[in-house]
Chains A and B, each alone.
Chain A
Amino acid sequence: MPEEIDLSQFDEIPDRVARAKAKAEAMKKMREGGGGEASVPAEAAEEAAPEPAPAEEAPAAAESEGGGEAEVDLADLDQITDRVARAKAKAEAMRKAKVGGGAPAAGGGAAPAKKAPAKKAAAGAGDRAAAARALTEKGDGPAQVIVQTSPSPPDIRPGPDRILPLASGGMTTRRGFFSWLTLAWVSFAAATTAALAATGRFLFPNVLFEPPQSFKIGFPENYDVGVDERWKDKFSVWVVKEKTQMYALISVCTHLGCTPNWLAGDAKFKCPCHGSGFYSTGINFEGPAPRPLERARIVVGEDGQILIDKNTKYQWEKGQWENPESFLKLI
């Protein structure tokens, strides 16, 4: 929406619509009479297309009429006049609102000030629409005069400067051609986007040759009290057994993701990268690690074996270690 709206351009549009309508009507009569210059409709349609107006509605109307159709529906031309009037009213209201509300008034006062001119403008628009309609009706008069009834068959070929042959062998107008061009560009852009997306997807493999995220680790009685390291290399978990419970700690340091070592002599997990330390429970007590190690889901399967599922993780600081699947209750 441009800053300044030139209202005068709206006044021209009804005139042009009226002229177009007159021409079109004359055309129609001619055709009913079985003759006349049939190249007029195209011109009429083209003239009906108003200049790009600042309001959205007017160009929309132009688009629907100016598409190079040979048949001109007179009712549609009437509609254009109405819509132009409405668009103008809108633009005028907006301008008034801008003038009225433009002053740095307090927020409360500005709203009603905006409303009043808008109403006024709407009333004005009604008058103008009526005037436009009158103009259109006046335009019907001279149209009658132009009518000529020659018996020659209608020549419906458009002017030579308006046609461009298509590969399909059909004929099309310049506007039609540009809409084809638009379609081609849109298709091209869509195809390019799809190809790029597919290329990006190529980098994300469907099958991973990594150890499974959930696995069985035998029976609870196979483990002694303390930290068990037998699954650390393969599945990146420690199985910790206490007197009353068992749980699986994921062997990824909560600082930056290195793998800590279990130092049995010091009874702690120690990360070699930046020195974070964790108790055998997984609670952090030294170094830069901001939170305890994470637990994996641990349950007893139907065959009595322990099942560990690393897809579900339990974090102490979120209170998730209370979850009955974050540990195995013994006894």
Chain B
Amino acid sequence: MPKTSDLMDQVKRTQVWRSLFRHDIPRDERGRAQVVLTNIFLHLHPVRTPKSGIRVRYTWCMGGLTFFIFMVEVVTGIMLMFYYRPTLEYAYTDIIDLGEQVPLGIMREIHRWGAHLMIITVWLHMLRVFMTGSYKPPREFNWAIGVILLLLTLMLSFTGYLLPWDQLAIWAITVGSNMARATPFLGHEGPGAAFLKIGDVGLVHAGNDARFGLLAGRFVGEGALLRFYVLHCLAIPFIATILMAVHFWRVRKDGGISGPM
């Protein structure tokens, strides 16, 4: 009867184990650093973090919480996509079904409340970074990335708003997208658009301006629903994921999390 430790040693010598774990159980500082550096999920994180920097009262954990909620939104969003169809015929009733008929009817509510919460945590994260002066060199680039991520979060919220396809959704997006009419040069009611014309024919009109591009039509209709669905489920999360990777990586490269001054 071999001892457990011998058995463990044998397992650790197998090719499978050694291909999965390229180092021993970390028992010292070097080993722990190795774990972070050799793992794709951990390597974005700084190997060392100042003790003061992880104080809850310093960071409020808002960046981490935002990322956590984003992951919740990704998972619940994928689940919702199994049922939701972005068409005029089904969109509204599918949302009703998700609450009334599909098991675990709170899935959509988790997604919706998570969205609200993420907006709050993103703003608080920005406030914290501002208050602690963490936007200063060498972190100014990461601040700019963060601002873009904030805008992407707001756009995720805006595009998700239309998908239930109820009166609130349709008119909210109608009002919201009407602002695109006033885009300088690109919106047909915006400043400068009147100058873009050949003879009497305007180059920017209701059939080709920024709002039209957003809605795929002159008003909020089937095209807008599909377009917002694709933006919400694929396009914006795709860009946001890339920028998040850059954001986290830059935290590491700019000297880790900023400490209290």
Contact = CB atoms under 8 A, between A and B. Distances in A.
B218 A257 contact: no
B161 to A, nearest CB: 15
Contacts of A258: 171, 174-175
B176 to A, nearest CB: 9
Nearest to B181: A257
A16 to B, nearest CB: 47
Interface string B201-245: 000000110001100111101110000000000000000000000
A273 B171 contact: yes
A293 to B, nearest CB: 15
B178 interface: yes
Contacts of A257: 174-175, 178
Interface string A262-274: 0000000000110
A203 B213 contact: yes
Nearest to A257: B178
A210 B171 contact: no
Contact of A204 (B178, B208, B222): B208
Interface in A144-185: none
A208 B222 contact: no
Contact of A210 (B174, B178, B213, B218): B218
Interface string A253-288: 000111000000000000011000000000000000
Nearest to A274: B175
B212 A204 contact: yes
Interface in A195-252: 203-205, 208-210
Nearest to A205: B216
Contact of A209 (B178, B208, B222): B222
A252 to B, nearest CB: 9
Contacts of B223: 205, 208-209
A273 B172 CA distance: 9
A205 to B, nearest CB: 6
Contacts of B221: 210
A258 B168 CA distance: 11
B218 A208 contact: yes
A256 B217 contact: no
Nearest to B222: A209
B233 to A, nearest CB: 17
B107 to A, nearest CB: 30
A273 B212 contact: no
B175 A210 contact: no
Contacts of B178: 256-257
B195 to A, nearest CB: 18
Contacts of A210: 217-219, 221
B175 A273 contact: yes
Contacts of A209: 222-223
Nearest to A273: B171
A204 B215 CA distance: 10
From A208, A257, A272, residue with most partner B Cβ within 10 Å: A257
A171 to B, nearest CB: 46
A204 B213 CA distance: 6
B240 to A, nearest CB: 20
Interface in B150-196: 171, 174-175, 178
A288 to B, nearest CB: 12
Contacts of B218: 208, 210
B172 to A, nearest CB: 9
Contacts of B174: 256-258
B246 to A, nearest CB: 22
A256 to B, nearest CB: 4
B17 to A, nearest CB: 47
A257 B170 CA distance: 11
Contacts of B222: 209
Nearest to A252: B219
A204 B218 CA distance: 11
> What 3 A-B pairs come out closest when comparing CB atoms?
A256-B175, A257-B178, A258-B171
Given A208-B223, A210-B221, A258-B174, 20 more contacts: A203-B213, A203-B216, A204-B208, A204-B213, A205-B216, A205-B223, A208-B217, A208-B218, A209-B223, A210-B217, A210-B218, A210-B219, A256-B174, A256-B178, A257-B175, A257-B178, A258-B171, A258-B175, A272-B171, A273-B171
27 contacts: A203-B213, A203-B216, A204-B208, A204-B212, A204-B213, A205-B216, A205-B223, A208-B217, A208-B218, A208-B223, A209-B222, A209-B223, A210-B217, A210-B218, A210-B219, A210-B221, A256-B174, A256-B175, A256-B178, A257-B174, A257-B175, A257-B178, A258-B171, A258-B174, A258-B175, A272-B171, A273-B171
